């Protein structure tokens, strides 16, 4: 049965949900507080990353986080604050960062990432719209033996999971990047990964959905949610009232705040990331992560993007210049011939990634409401998991067998 659907949020998760719901024949409306031209879906590294098997909430991250948390230019920075939502999230993060829970999460993360990669490729080969997509793999560069050894442990686990993973010497890296002078000791290569140009895909899927009759209301904030019993009857924005059969909460870092209007406890913290675009030749042809500095490097259409940092400081878009400069310095320390200009640093942008405490997204219906599906909390995997989440959301609402077991993503799950 075709339904009327309202999606709150026009980022990669919301638009992919709209794409698959429209394919199922539903009447879809998307509402977003912005004009859908900026935010995390536009400034990310554009990675599709089956290789990222380890969730953010891992035992090693606790140690690194304590080391980095008071250094405002470190890869992982926590702005100290007495905020109850943050303190509860941090406690849940700590409870999730155990070897046992990481082990349980690995196959879940692997399967949803592989589904996301397949679906991007399906969209690419369909008649819907074309976009930049390259399946070239990912290089993890390291400058110290310690970092290389740590990443190779992850790489060996990747091999056990069936991925193409190689441990490369500096000379062997030359086969992938023959024209670069790299200040590295070696790299771990993951052949399973792919990359894209995010803003191009976002612009094209948005235009495609509009051409197919999906309704968009932009620059409108959801101000109230009206409930009757265990169902949402309508939402009220700053400009209109929208009724629907089903509602999807895909508002990224704002999802937790909107959930409060429904008396739901959706634990999400905004993890700010930054990007620098270099719109001139760099010679870089392979996506890479600079391990020690946690900086992602992506050759996109017409430019190279340097992206990184995880800053837990609440919902704000303040640009911390020292954090942007840390990305530029990291890039220059690995790529010997690279010099990032002050104008490129000045033009940096940021986005807020919605982070759950256990590193898994929230996908599914809360038991509190029959017609609410939640799709948020994807952290640094939002881009990678966009189509997979959209497909699962469509299957949930269309009452079909889901492509994956969605129990690990249940929005009501406890962190204990």
Task: Give 220-256 pLDDT, tens digit per residue.
Answer: 999 999 999 999 999 999 899 999 999 999 999 999 9
pTM, whole model, 2 decimals? 0.96
Q: How big, in percent rounded to 5, are the helix, strand and coil portions of the chain?
A: 35, 25, 40
Instruction: Identify the band that residue 219 occupies on the pLDDT scale cut at 50, 70 and 90.
Output: very high
Closest C-alpha to 11, from 156, 158, 201: 201
Task: Give me 409's structure tokens.
Answer: 């993503």
Confidence of residue 130 (pLDDT cuts 50, 70, 90): very high
284: left (phi over 0), alpha (psi -120 to 50) or beta: beta
State the chain's mean pLDDT as an integer: 95
For residue 15, pLDDT beyond 70: yes
State yes or no: pLDDT of 353 exceeds 80: yes
Question: How confident is the model at residue 65, as a pLDDT?
Answer: 66
CB neighbourhood size of 115 (10 A): 19
- Comparing C-alpha atoms, which of 253, 194, 267 is closest to residue 414? 267
pLDDT, residue 63, reads: 65
Q: In percent, how much of the chain has pLDDT > 70?
A: 98
Mean pLDDT, rounded, for 277-306: 97
Between 87 and 19, the more confident residue is: 19
Which one has a higher pLDDT value, 283 or 128?
A: 283
**pLDDT by residue (tens digit) across 170-191?**
999 999 999 999 999 999 999 9
More confident residue, 309 or 63: 309
Mean pLDDT of 137-165: 97
In this structure, what are the phi and psi dihedrals at residue 97, rounded to the nearest 5 degrees? -85, 65
Q: Where are the domains of the chain?
A: 4-409
Tell me, what's the pLDDT at 338? Answer: 97
pLDDT score of 66 more than 70: no
* Matching CATH number, 4-409, of 3.40.50.410, 3.50.50.60, 3.30.70.1900, 3.30.360.10: 3.50.50.60
């Amino acid at each position: 049965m075709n339904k009327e659907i309202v999606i709150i949020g026009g980022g990669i998760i919301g638009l992919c949900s709209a794409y698959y719901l429209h394919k199922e024949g539903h009447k879809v409306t998307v509402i977003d507080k912005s004009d859908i031209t900026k935010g995390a879906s536009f400034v990310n590294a554009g990675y599709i990353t089956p290789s990222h098997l380890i969730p953010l909430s891992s035992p090693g991250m606790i140690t690194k986080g304590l080391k980095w948390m008071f250094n405002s230019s470190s890869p992982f920075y926590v702005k100290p604050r007495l905020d109850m939502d943050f303190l509860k999230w941090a406690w849940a993060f700590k409870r999730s960062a155990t070897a046992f829970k990481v082990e349980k999460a690995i196959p879940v993360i692997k399967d949803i990432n592989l589904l996301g990669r397949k679906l991007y490729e399906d969209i690419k080969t369909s008649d819907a719209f074309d976009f930049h997509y390259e399946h070239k793999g990912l290089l993890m560069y390291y400058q110290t033996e310690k970092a290389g050894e740590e990443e190779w442990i992850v790489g060996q686990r990747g091999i056990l999971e069936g991925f193409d993973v190689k441990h490369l010497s500096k000379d062997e890296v030359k086969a992938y990047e023959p024209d670069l002078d790299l200040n590295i000791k070696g790299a771990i290569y993951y052949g399973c990964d792919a990359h894209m140009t995010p803003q191009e895909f976002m612009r094209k899927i948005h235009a495609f959905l509009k051409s197919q009759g999906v309704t968009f209301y932009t620059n409108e904030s959801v101000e109230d949610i009206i409930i009757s019993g265990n169902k949402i009857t309508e939402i009220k924005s700053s400009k209109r009232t929208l009724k629907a059969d089903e509602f999807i909460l895909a508002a990224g870092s704002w999802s937790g705040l909107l959930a409060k209007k429904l008396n739901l406890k959706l634990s999400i913290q905004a993890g700010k990331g930054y990007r620098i675009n270099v719109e001139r030749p760099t010679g870089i042809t392979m996506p890479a992560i600079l391990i020690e500095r946690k900086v992602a490097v992506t050759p996109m259409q017409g430019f190279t993007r340097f992206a990184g940092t995880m800053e837990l400081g609440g919902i704000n878009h303040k640009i911390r210049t020292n954090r942007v400069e840390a990305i530029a310095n990291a890039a220059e320390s690995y790529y010997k011939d690279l010099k990032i200009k002050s104008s490129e640093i000045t033009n940096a942008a940021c986005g807020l990634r919605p982070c759950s405490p256990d590193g898994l997204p929230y996908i599914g219906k809360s038991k509190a409401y029959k017609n609410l599906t939640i799709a948020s909390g994807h952290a640094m995997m939002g881009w990678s998991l966009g189509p997979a989440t959209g497909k699962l959301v469509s299957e949930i609402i269309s009452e079909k067998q889901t492509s994956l077991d969605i129990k690990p993503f249940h929005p009501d799950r406890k962190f204990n």
